[in-house]
Amino acid sequence: MRIADRYELTYPVGSGGMGQVWAGYDERLDRPVAVKFLKPGLAVEADRHTVVERFQREARITARLDHPGVPTVHDAGVVDDELYIVMQLVPGTLFADLIAENGPLPVPWAAAIGAQICSVLAAAHAASLVHRDLKPTNLILGPTGLVKVLDFGVAAVLDADLPKLTLTTDIIGTPTYMAPEQALGSSSVSYRADLYALGCILHELLAGEPPYAADNALGMLHEHLEAPVPHVADARDDVPAAFDELIVALLAKDPQDRPESAAVVYRQLLRWAATDLSGLSRPPQDHSAADPTSPHRFPFGPIPRDTIARARPAAAAAASASIPSLDDVHAVRDQALALADEERFGQAADALETMLRRAAPVYGQRSPEILEARLDYAGMLMLAGDFRTALPVFEQLIVDVTARNGPEHELVRECRQHVATCQAELGEATEALLTLRSLIAASPGRVGFPLRHQAAVIMAGLGRIPEAIAELDALLADMQSTPNPDQPTLADVVALRRHLHQLAEGQDFR
């Protein structure tokens, strides 16, 4: 499905208070996006003008909410009488999955996560925006440890229009994390409802389960209204008393008894917070081993790339569960080439990466078909301009192609040259030049011509103009004495040499 003549929808991500979210691609800018549609039928159930106003206001305010913990809003519009917002597609692990797989987290990690959520809430509340549905399925831990708060779709602007904008016939929120005033259907729900939900989440991160349990939604709402506030310290003995009391304060029945603001809670959480969340891909074995003052002592490695797959929707997960055939591998490669013909290199790279994640464990990283697909993937990353991701892919390909075909194989040379290109594009010109020099020494004659040309370009970029001109002079002499030399063409080399001479005329290189 394609909308607005530019957004291709690929698979459903999930649904929330406002409607359904799809993963997609912006064909014009060649980037992945998330597209959120208004809940089907909502425009019929309520006043159309009210719904449109609420949706457009959400788009405008969320777009102005400039915070790294909030997905960027790119676009908004209407298609087939349905409203949609186009946002940043966020990779990572849903907190619901994180808790289910890891159980209770170390205190420093829980505090660091809570502090990041508070940072987002502080920015939102300053913009008069209340989330109103904060829960583990609306939180994602990114591959770098950054927490993203998703779906401000149920948020309301704190002004005189609040009852109209919240469609007062509905209770907006999720019972397990709903503040008592929300459970009562109050139209005066404030930012302190978000602090209550944060208390529920912190309790779950530390205890492994929410503060209250019930058999149904009505029973859960009764718990929030009437049950005593639980202490997370009753579930484990390594939670500092002050941290336990902070969570109790967040879970206060009366909003006025909760902390003054998200900023206040943020400052308190920093006392126990770790500065490195890269170990959250594996379950902690000993809560006491995590020391917030020594973040590098965590015995876990960085989050693996396949962790990102945990946040994909059930439909995509079911599709990826089947064992791909080699025909599937070839089909995806053909699809990627077709996308590349349309200059949709980022989408082509994503298609190959998704297929490789499924197929490589089946056929082996060094099987011929997988190696070819990996080469395609790395090449698409370069064409998309994602040199930082492409660099380690090419470096690993050098290792694997060498192991299979030997160090002199042509693909090894090509990958090493691509490594140099990536290094140069990332500003690592000195490293790129060293890589090329090593390649040139092992590539005599016409095989080394493109490498020598590339080395001259990098030397010029480093300001080493005379050295670059000398390299081009020697290259021209060799190319002129060689019939049908490989790329670059003589014209390319002559043009670069002329340009560098023009630069050198006004400079003193002595």
Do the Cβ atoms of 425 and 387 come closer than 8 Å? yes
Q: Note whether 450 and 372 are same-domain residues.
A: yes
Q: Which of 236, 257, 292 is the last residue of a domain?
A: 292
Q: What is the pLDDT of residue 267?
A: 94
CATH code, 65: 3.30.200.20
Instruction: Identify whether 59 is part of a domain.
Output: yes
Q: What is the pLDDT of residue 54?
A: 65
Residue spans of the chain under pLDDT 70: 15-19, 39-54, 57-58, 61, 152-173, 185-188, 275-322, 484-488, 506-510
Q: Which of 292, 325, 353 is the last residue of a domain?
A: 292
Q: Note whether 167 and 128 are same-domain residues.
A: yes
CA 6/CA 460 separation, integer angstroms: 40
Q: Note whether 278 and 427 are same-domain residues.
A: no
Entry pTM:
0.59
Tokens matching residue 454:
């590339």
Q: Note whether 461 and 424 are same-domain residues.
A: yes
Instruction: Identify whether 301 is part of a domain.
Output: no
Q: What is the pLDDT of residue 153?
A: 52
Instruction: Identify whether 300 is part of a domain.
Output: no
Instruction: Identify whether 443 is part of a domain.
Output: yes
Q: Note whether 374 and 397 are same-domain residues.
A: yes
Q: Note whether 367 and 256 are same-domain residues.
A: no
Q: Note whether 84 and 102 are same-domain residues.
A: no
Q: What is the pLDDT of residue 359?
A: 92
Q: Note whether 187 and 107 are same-domain residues.
A: yes
* Rg of the chain, C-alpha, whole Å: 28
Q: What is the pLDDT of residue 195?
A: 97
- CA dist 147 to 93, 138, 205, Å? 10, 10, 14
Instruction: Identify whether 303 is part of a domain.
Output: no
CATH code, 383: 1.25.40.10
Q: Note whether 68 and 100 are same-domain residues.
A: no
Q: What is the pLDDT of residue 72?
A: 87
HEC string of 378-445 equals HHHHHHCCCHHHHHHHHHHHHHHHHHHHCCCCHHHHHHHHHHHHHHHHCCCHHHHHHHHHHHHHCCCH
Tokens matching residue 472:
């081009």
Query: Which residues are known to be catalytic?
Result: 133
- For the chain, what is the domain count? 3
Q: Note whether 78 and 112 are same-domain residues.
A: no
Of 322, 271, 312, 266, residue with least CA distance to 13: 312
Looking at residue 156, the DSSP 8-state letter turns out to be E
Residue with tokens 């209204």: 225
Domain that holds residue 222: 93-292
Q: Note whether 321 and 285 are same-domain residues.
A: no
Q: What is the pLDDT of residue 507?
A: 53
Q: Note whether 109 and 231 are same-domain residues.
A: yes
Q: What is the pLDDT of residue 460?
A: 81
Instruction: Identify whether 298 is part of a domain.
Output: no
Strands of the sheet containing 139-141, edge to edge, are 93-94, 139-141, 147-149
CATH code, 265: 1.10.510.10
Q: Which of 240, 264, 292 is the last residue of a domain?
A: 292
Instruction: Identify whether 169 is part of a domain.
Output: yes
Residues 6 or more apart whose CB falls under 8 angstroms from that of 140 comprise 90, 91, 92, 93, 94, 95, 147, 148, 150, 311
Instruction: Identify whether 130 is part of a domain.
Output: yes
Do the Cβ atoms of 108 and 158 come closer than 8 Å? no
